[in-house]
Homo-oligomer: A and B are copies of this chain.
Amino acid sequence: MGERIERVAVIGGGLIGASWAALFLAHGLTVAVHEPAADVAQGVARRVADAWPDLQALGLARGTFDAAQPRLTVTSDVAAALQTTDFVQECGPDRLPLKHRIIAAIEPHLKPEVIIASSSSALMPSEIQQGATHPDRILVGHPFNPPHLIPLVELVAGHATSQNAVERAQAFYHRLGREVIVPLREMRGHVANRLTAALYREAVHLVAEGIATVADVDRAISAGPGLRWALMGPHLTYYLGGGDGGLRHYLEHLGPAQEARWAELGAPRLDARTIAALVSGMDDALKGSTADTLAARRDAALVALLRAKADSGL
């Protein structure tokens, strides 16, 4: 396709937008962040600077952030942010009327072929592109928090999205070292957040039923199967656990037991009693650690984990 995306606009300068901006800057791109709220806008450069050492440790960022900073603009002026932009990463609030308002505001400033990739987790691309002037260039490019560290991008096409836009977006994200999956069709929650919701439902059920504490449910994952899931997904894990008979033999023989286990999984409600149990269990689990401390440790560990994984060939 020969396209060379050099200038990216990020719409929304919150946690996700700033993290995307850091990733784009690390790859030598010129980035304009559009953020109407002054206090949020002021935090963008600091967030990018905070992300920079991790990007360097991963071999993604060349040079210092000070050297990269001239390539970063943060502005409340949409027209200025979108001038000569080659790609838009939209990170506004995840509500449909707001997405439609954002797209109506930015389309007049864009060349028709410029892709608008929405970071939306809750909305489907066919909804987002409704009423757009050029719906064919609108798709979902859903990252995971924090986008500059977690490689996954779910690239989802809506009914009106062109195959050309999907391919150009995929090539762009690959250039950024992202692990791109392209679902065969759109579904609420895309793929990863549906899997996350399934795990969380049973995690809530076990606490609500008094089977285990919040802390122990979490350790049951992070000291157990979660260690494997950082390396391989549930299908391959199940396959490797199945022994020498092959997956078909395993599923045909143990399938009924698996179905019986599924039938026994919980269907909790987030009622007042369950919320109280979750809140008090989380207080116990935190043992006084703050969210900021834990997020910083998580990010440091993620960098080490990603490096170890890259070395393993998985």
Q: Which residues of B contact A174 (CB under 8 A)?
A: none
Q: Which residues of B contact A301 (CB under 8 A)?
A: 231, 308-309, 311-312, 314
User: Is A229 touching B234 in the complex (CB atoms < 8 A)?
Assistant: no
Interface: A5 (CB within 8 A): no
User: Is A195 touching B217 in the complex (CB atoms < 8 A)?
Assistant: yes
Q: Mark A214-252, 1 if CB is under 8 A from B, else 0.
A: 101111111111111111111110111100001110011
Interface: A171 (CB within 8 A): no
Tell whether A264 pairs with B189 under 8 Å between CB atoms, given A122-B257, A233-B218, A238-B200: yes
A213 to B200, CA, bound (A): 23
Tell whether A218 pairs with B198 under 8 Å between CB atoms, given A225-B144, A312-B300: no
Q: Which residues of B contact A182 (CB under 8 A)?
A: 216
User: Is B220 touching A152 in the complex (CB atoms < 8 A)?
Assistant: yes
Interface: A106 (CB within 8 A): no
A140-181 interface (Cβ within 8 A of B)? 144-145, 150-152, 154, 179, 181
Tell whether A251 pairs with B275 under 8 Å between CB atoms, given A184-B211, A305-B231: yes
Q: How far is the CB of A48 from chain B (nearest CB, A)?
A: 20
User: Is B220 touching A191 in the complex (CB atoms < 8 A)?
Assistant: yes
A212 to B225, CA, bound (A): 22
Q: How far is the CB of A244 from chain B (nearest CB, A)?
A: 8
Interface: A261 (CB within 8 A): yes
Interface: A185 (CB within 8 A): yes
Q: Mark A4-28, 1 if CB is under 8 A from B, else 0.
A: 0000000000000000000000000
The segment from A74-82, A111-119, A290-298 found at the interface with B is A290-298
Q: Mark A262-302, 1 if CB is under 8 A from B, else 0.
A: 10110101100001001101100100000100110110111
The segment from A39-47, A58-66, A201-209 found at the interface with B is A201-209
Q: Which residues of B contact A210 (CB under 8 A)?
A: 184-185
Interface: A108 (CB within 8 A): no
A192-B224, A226-B231 known; 10 new pairs, CB 8 Å cut-off, are: A183-B216, A191-B211, A191-B220, A195-B225, A201-B262, A201-B265, A219-B233, A235-B282, A239-B291, A240-B298
